[in-house]
Structure 1
Amino acid sequence: MERMMRALLLLPLIAMATPALAADRHAARMETGFEVGALGLSAIDRGDWATAERQLNAMRGVSADDPARLINLGRVYAATGRPEMAAAAWQQAINSPHHYQVELGDGTVSTTDAVARKALAQYSFAAR
């Protein structure tokens, strides 16, 4: 499968534990390379978990196994008290055959499998 760079903005994983540390909340962040709202970024930034989940599950232009979608869905599940579902979403992202590079909310670039592994590891640490 072709590996391509998509300039997405995913929430910094550290924001899972402390939302106040997320990237500048005043800047409107939107998906690049996806239909606006497909990855629920604006809703996640606002803490509007119901809208983010609805957008992520609508899968407008995003496949069910897209790792960026699964990473953000895991973020929603973690924020709404569904840790088992969050861990399952991140594990699905790791297992996805469609990994690519993404730009994170803090401006760093990583691969989707690395982002998902980090989310799962941080969740595992936080759950202890």
Structure 2
Amino acid sequence: MKHLILSAALVAAMGMSSATYAQSQNAEIGYERGSLGFEALMANDNHRALNQILTDKSTAPNDPARLINLGRAHARLGDKEKARQAFLAAANCKEEFDLVLSNGQIMNSRKVAALALKSLGQ
């Protein structure tokens, strides 16, 4: 099962500690650097994160980690409907895997997506 690191923004929005930052060397683990917009989200550069995620060709469009970070970028930019759509897609994605949080907690991508939806008030 894959273990990934997501942006701290998503995890913080869910009321948890930030995603592992030092371990990831400020980049995605198991993905091409920038493909999930991780560094841009960490820097609160949401337009750059959105652009990186949308233009990346190395990650499948239905990858849960991509969808979760896409949703977070949309949410931060104020587009709650696009965020909701991305989080729902991640929650209902055929593929699922575990995400490693900075506190060592491992959480299933579907649960992360469900918590992200909840953070939108959905």
Which TM-score bucket, shorter chain as reference? 0.7 to 0.9
Contact 2:7 2:41 survives alignment (8 Å): no
Describe the shift of the 1:105–1:79 C-alpha distance in structure 2 as closer, same or farther (beyond 3 A): farther
**Aligned with 2:34 (options 20, 33, 37):** 37
Q: Size of the alignment, in residue pairs?
A: 119
| Aligned-partner Cα distance in 1 for 2:102–2:9 | 5
Q: What corresponds to 2:5 in structure 1?
A: 8
Q: What corresponds to 2:85 in structure 1?
A: 88
Structure 2, unaligned stretches of length 5 or more? none
Q: What corresponds to 1:72 in structure 2?
A: 69
Aligned residue for 2:35, secondary structure, equals coil
Does 2:106 match 1:109? yes
Deviation at 1:104, TM superposition (A): 2.5
Taking only aligned residues, the RMSD between alpha carbons, in angstroms, comes to 2.3
Map residues 53-68 of structure 1 onto 2, 5 A cutoff: 53-68=50-65
| Aligned-partner Cα distance in 2 for 1:23–1:109 | 11
Runs of 4+ in 1 over 4 A off after TM superposition: 21-25
Work out the percentage of aligned pairs sharing the same amino acid: 33
Deviation at 1:88, TM superposition (A): 0.8
Deviation at 1:8, TM superposition (A): 1.9
Q: What corresponds to 2:43 in structure 1?
A: 46
Deviation per CA, 1:68-110, whole angstroms, max 9, x where unpaired? 0010011101111111111111001011111011112443211
Describe the shift of the 1:17–1:82 C-alpha distance in structure 2 as closer, same or farther (beyond 3 A): farther
Aligned residue for 2:104, secondary structure, equals coil
Describe the shift of the 1:106–1:45 C-alpha distance in structure 2 as closer, same or farther (beyond 3 A): farther
Structure 1, unaligned stretches of length 5 or more? none
Task: Give the number of the structure whose residues are more often helix, by fraction.
Answer: 1
